[in-house]
Structure 1
Amino acid sequence: MTEKLEDSPWIRRFHESVPGVPRLVCFPFAGGSASYFYELSQRLRAVAAVLAVQYPGRHDRMGEACVESVPELAAGVAEALAASADDRPVVFFGHSMGALVAFETAIALSGGGSAPRALLVSASRGPSVPARRDENFGTDAEIMADLRELNGTSEQLLANEALMQVVLPVVRADYRAVARYRSSPEARVSCPVTALTGDDDPLVDQSEARVWERHTTGGFRLRQFPGGHFFLDENRDRLCEELALLTASAAALGH
């Protein structure tokens, strides 16, 4: 029996989309949640059914323990997507840690109807490149300084001590998951991969992003945008163009 997405703790859908359009599954960054993709869901609803992944330990899953393993996160998402598969093509999009989870999810689903027809990864080194941080990275103060440098967390949140006491354990768990993860050099997806980078990203350079080319038997594209690790926030229009192009290509392959 097909499981409704509404019944899965792993998947959120914010808007109804045009019937029959491809599914676009979005995977958040370390410390991030499904709500980051709300605006994207609204903007793309005419061309994609946007599904946002919700990891344990945040928002309505706050009562659950965080998962400090990229493959375990991917296993949960893969199970939810496989249970709700239909005949629509699927595209995956992951930012930073989300790119790694998307990659592992694609591998877990390979050969099935929920396997992606395209993978878009942003602000991420290739999955076989070692993490720059170790799993015991930083005190709370050092993690907050890191978040400020990456410029993906509002100063209002960083200044709220009570909220940061909730957020910091989630960020720390996600940092551990990334630090512990490293794929085999032979691990590959069969779909095309597009990698996006920021020209001022302190965590990922062009050569590290280009390693994604070794992890696909499909085509590969690398595009650079102005900005740092969260360059997407400054380039929403161009991101939407990329995603609309990928979903249109995925839909064309289905005919």
Structure 2
Amino acid sequence: MHASLLQQLNCCPAPRSEILCFPHAGGSASYFQRWAAHLPEGVILRALQLPLREDRLELPPLTDMAELVRLLIKEVTALPKRPRILLGHSMGAIIAWEMALALEQCRQPVSHLFISGQTPPDVMRQTQFHLGSDQQLIAEVARFSATPASLFEFPALRELVLEQLRHDYALIERWQPTTTKKLSSPITVLHGREDSEVTQHQAQCWSKFTSNEFRLYNWPGDHFYLTTHWQAILHQLCQRLFSHTSDMP
């Protein structure tokens, strides 16, 4: 049996709530692993593990957002119902957004949606890096320093990393918003002040996509500000999770 797309990163004997995390292009579930040791009791941490990496290395690519969301919804709706928060960064923010919409349609709305490092769904994407040359793809990811340049110096690693990146860029660049509907769950946007990919105004425009509470927090740093500020961000998530949990009967 293939490993789950949503991998549990911590041991939680008596779960009461969950945080589901969705990483950036080229990222994996292990990006969030260090969060596991800092979680309060009763909180499960799960993170998306796409094909072509770690324990899903041999699985075929998933480059269609609708198919990915369908598979994720199947996994999530099979889990016990409990308060859930979604956090997505960069590419992962779009997956989290589509997941939140789909879960609402399944009458399992999320407690809160956290969006990080991503423009709103009505901002059209014009790039086609998944169709470009290896050098174009390497140059693109080099702008963020998310993928160490040293990985491209070793032929076997270079081939694998490029395959992962091409897979993920195809997933996000082929994506088209499924709806202009507002989410009923609250949305919090996390924004790096020096992020070259998302302006302050664009981050604020996520407010149009919820009929509930909206918050915007700015953090020092570029597109990957959360690599530095992850503990403070995790604290924000847990605060929101417990505020919703305390409202439960």
For 1:190, the equivalent position in structure 2 comes to: 184
Number of residue pairs matched by the alignment: 249
Is residue 105 of structure 1 aligned with residue 62 of structure 2? no
Give the conservation status (yes or no) of the 8 Å contact 1:22–1:89: yes
Q: TM-score, normalised by structure 2?
A: 0.91
Residue 214 (structure 1) shift: 1.4
Q: Percent of pairs identical after alignment?
A: 29
Q: Pick from 167, 170, 173 the counterpart of residue 176 of structure 1.
A: 170
**Contiguous gaps of at least 5 residues in structure 2:** none
For 1:123, the equivalent position in structure 2 comes to: 117
SS of 2:101's equivalent in the other structure is helix
SS of 2:157's equivalent in the other structure is helix
For 1:3, the equivalent position in structure 2 comes to: none
Per the alignment, do residues 104 and 211 of structure 1 end up closer, same or farther by CA in structure 2, a change over 3 Å counting?
A: same
CA RMSD after TM alignment: 2.1
Per the alignment, do residues 251 and 145 of structure 1 end up closer, same or farther by CA in structure 2, a change over 3 Å counting?
A: same
For 1:88, the equivalent position in structure 2 comes to: 82
Whole-angstrom CA distance in 2 between matches of 1:233 and 1:100? 19
Whole-angstrom CA distance in 1 between matches of 2:131 and 2:203? 22
- Higher mean Cα deviation, 158-167 or 239-248? 158-167
Whole-angstrom CA distance in 2 between matches of 1:25 and 1:113? 18
Give the conservation status (yes or no) of the 8 Å contact 2:185–2:212: yes
Per the alignment, do residues 210 and 108 of structure 1 end up closer, same or farther by CA in structure 2, a change over 3 Å counting?
A: same
In structure 1, give the amino acid aligned to 2:104. Answer: S
Give the conservation status (yes or no) of the 8 Å contact 1:8–1:80: no
Give runs of aligned pairs for residues 1-255 of structure 1, distance below 5 A. 9-17=4-12, 19-46=14-41, 48-84=43-79, 86-112=80-106, 114-134=108-128, 136=130, 138-183=132-177, 186-255=180-249
Residue 205 (structure 1) shift: 1.3
Residue 76 (structure 1) shift: 1.2
Per the alignment, do residues 156 and 118 of structure 1 end up closer, same or farther by CA in structure 2, a change over 3 Å counting?
A: same
SS of 1:230's equivalent in the other structure is coil
Residue 95 (structure 1) shift: 0.6
Per the alignment, do residues 87 and 176 of structure 1 end up closer, same or farther by CA in structure 2, a change over 3 Å counting?
A: closer
Whole-angstrom CA distance in 2 between matches of 1:31 and 1:101? 14
Give the conservation status (yes or no) of the 8 Å contact 2:129–2:136: no
Whole-angstrom CA distance in 1 between matches of 2:222 and 2:2? 36
Residue 72 (structure 1) shift: 2.0
**Contiguous gaps of at least 5 residues in structure 1:** 1-5
SS of 1:235's equivalent in the other structure is helix
Residue 40 (structure 1) shift: 1.2
Give the conservation status (yes or no) of the 8 Å contact 1:47–1:248: no
Residue 202 (structure 1) shift: 1.6
Give the conservation status (yes or no) of the 8 Å contact 1:90–1:114: no
Q: TM-score, normalised by structure 1?
A: 0.89
